[in-house]
Amino acid sequence: MNPDRSSPGLRLPTAPFLEGVAAPPALPPPRSTARLPALARRMAGMPPSAVREILKVAERPDILSFAGGLPAPELFPVEEIAAAHAEVLRLSGRSALQYSTTEGFGPLREWIAAHLRHRGIAARAEELLITSGSQQGIDLVARVFLDPGDVVLVESPTYLAAIQAFAAYQVRLIAVPSDDDGMQVDRLAALIAAHRPKLIYLVPSFQNPKGTTLPPARRAALVELAAQHEVAILEDDPYGELAFTGPPPRPVAAGSHGNVLYLGTFSKTLAPGLRIGWLWGDARIVRKATIAKQAADLHTATLAQRATAALLARFDYEGHVARICEVYRERCQTMLTALAEHTPAGSRWVTPTGGMFVWLQLPSGLDADALLPTAIARRVAFVPGSSFFVDEIRRDFVRLNFSNQPPASIIEGMQRFGQVISVALAAA
C-alpha cells in the first residue's frame, strides 16, 4: 500500500461461474450505533493520514492530482516483471509459493548487497533483511529501539507515514529545523543534549516532502555527532537513485561508524506493488529486526522476492533507472517552468535535483489547508504542507508531486493551481 494513496476503487469482473445464479441478499447497512470496544492508548496518538483523505477526493477522474507520492505507472517494467514471475513459477513454483525465511531470498540479498557496495556502503548479504517495503523497515526499527516516552529526532518537515509509524510506539518526536539543504546538522548537538534521543530519522536525499538533499559535509558531521553521542541514525533512502544532475548522492550509511541503519526499496525504481524493501546495518541490530519481523508477517512474499531476483539477474536495472530519471527530470522542469509562469509573486520553491516533489511556499498570509477546497473545486489537488510537521505546524506550504502526471497535465494543473493562489491572494 502506498502510504500516500489509497488504491482506486476496484471494479471486480463478473465471475462467469455466477452467471444465472441469483444474486446474494443485499447486506444490511453497517451498524454504527454499536459501542466501540476499548482500544489501545497508542491509537489516540495515531491520527488518520490527512493525505489519504485528500486522495480519496483527488482520485476523481476530472481532478488533476499532484497530491499522491506516486511513481509514473507507465514506466513500470510490466512485461519484464510478468516474465520473471512466469519463469519463477515454471522453474521453481513450489518453492516460490512456499513459506520462506524471514531474512529474505538469498540471491536477492546478494544482489542488493552488491548494489549497495556500488553506492559506497560496505554491505554484506547477511547484514540485510528484506522488508515489505521500506515502510515496514521504519516500523521494525521503531519496534527494536523505542519504548514509550523515548525521543526520536526528525527533520522538520518530515515524511508523513514515518510520523505515523513512530506514533504507534508512543514516542516523542522532536523536530530538527531544516533549510534548503535539508537537516540543519549544526542544531543537532544542542537537541541531543536537551532531549537524549534514541534515534535520528532522516531522508537525506531528495527528501519527502521538501525535495532537499543533505550536502556531504553535513552527512559527515551527522555521522560523527551521532557516534559521539551514541545515537543511532535511521537513513531512509527511497529516492536516492532518482538523481537528475549527476550520480546518486553517497548515502549517509557509506560513512557509517556502525551507527547508521539504512532503508532502501524498489518502490520507486521498479514498482511499489512488489512491496520489496530492505534494511541494512549492524548485523546484531538487523537480527533483532528479523525477530520483530517474524512476529509481524513471518516474511516478505516469497514469489515477489524470487521474481524480483529473477528480473534483476537479466534486467538492465541501471538503464531503467536512468530512463526514470530522464522522464522525472523533464516533468520536474516542466512543473518549475509552469510555476514560474502561473504563480503570483511571493510564491517560493527550491529547485529539486532529484526525487518526486516540489515544496512550495505560498505568498505571505495564505493558508494551504484553507486553499485546498477551492483547488478541488477548480479540479486540481495538492497536499497541504501542515501534515508533515511534528511541532510548530506551518500552513503556508504545499507539496506537489511531479512524477505521476505527463507534461501537458502538469502545465494545465499548474495553471489551475496558480489561479487558485492568485484569487486567494487578491481576496486576502
Ligand X SMILES: Cc1ncc(COP(=O)(O)O)c(C=O)c1O
Sole binder of ligand X in the list 4, 127, 150, 241 (CB under 6 A)? 4
Q: How many CB atoms lie within 10 A of CB 118?
A: 11
272 binds ligand X (CB under 6 A): yes
354 near ligand X, judged by CB under 6 A = no
- The yes or no reply on residue 139 touching ligand X (CB under 6 A) is no
Question: Does 134 sit near ligand X (CB under 6 A)?
Answer: yes
Q: What is the number of the residue whose Cβ is closest to ligand X?
A: 133
Total chain residues near ligand X (CB under 6 A): 15
Cβ 269 to ligand X shortest distance, Å: 10
E strand spans, 75-211: 128-131, 151-156, 172-179, 182-183, 199-202
Q: Is 203 near ligand X (CB under 6 A)?
A: yes
In sequence order, which residues have a C-beta less than 8 Å from that of residue 290 and are 6 or more positions away? 102, 103, 129
Q: Does 251 bind ligand X (CB under 6 A)?
A: no
Q: Distance (Å, rounded) from C-alpha 234 to C-alpha 186? A: 18
Q: Are 213 and 205 in contact (CB under 8 A)?
A: yes
What minimum distance in Å lies between the beta carbon of 3 and ligand X? 5
- Contact between 305 and ligand X (CB under 6 A)? no
Residue 241 touching ligand X (CB under 6 A): no
d(CA 162, CA 349) in angstroms, rounded, equals: 24
First and final CA of the chain: distance in angstroms? Answer: 39
Among 49, 205, 212, 265, the residue binding ligand X under the rule CB under 6 A is: 265
User: Are the C-beta atoms of residues 200 and 188 closer than 8 Å to each other?
Assistant: yes
Q: DSSP 3-state assignment of 191? A: helix
Contact flag: residue 164 with ligand X (CB under 6 A): no
Least distance (Å) between residue 158 CB and ligand X: 8
Nearest-CA neighbor of 234 among 296, 298, 169, 190? 169
- Residue 236 in contact with ligand X, rule: CB under 6 A: yes
The yes or no reply on residue 238 touching ligand X (CB under 6 A) is yes
DSSP string, 337-400: HHHHHHSPTT-EE---SBSSEEEEEPPTT--HHHHHHHHHHTTEE-EEGGGG-SSS---SEEEE
- The yes or no reply on residue 277 touching ligand X (CB under 6 A) is yes
133 belongs to the binding site for ligand X (CB under 6 A) = yes
Whether residue 95 contacts residue 306, with contact meaning beta carbons closer than 8 Å, is answered with yes
Q: Which is nearer to ligand X, 68 or 413 (CB)?
A: 68
Cβ of residue 166: shortest distance to ligand X, in angstroms?
12
Q: Sign of the CA dihedral 404, 405, 410, 413?
A: negative
- Residue 343 in the binding site for ligand X (CB under 6 A): no
Q: How far is the CB of 258 from ligand X (least distance, A)?
A: 23
Binding site for ligand X (CB under 6 A): 3-4, 69, 133-135, 159, 203, 208, 236, 238, 265, 267, 272, 277
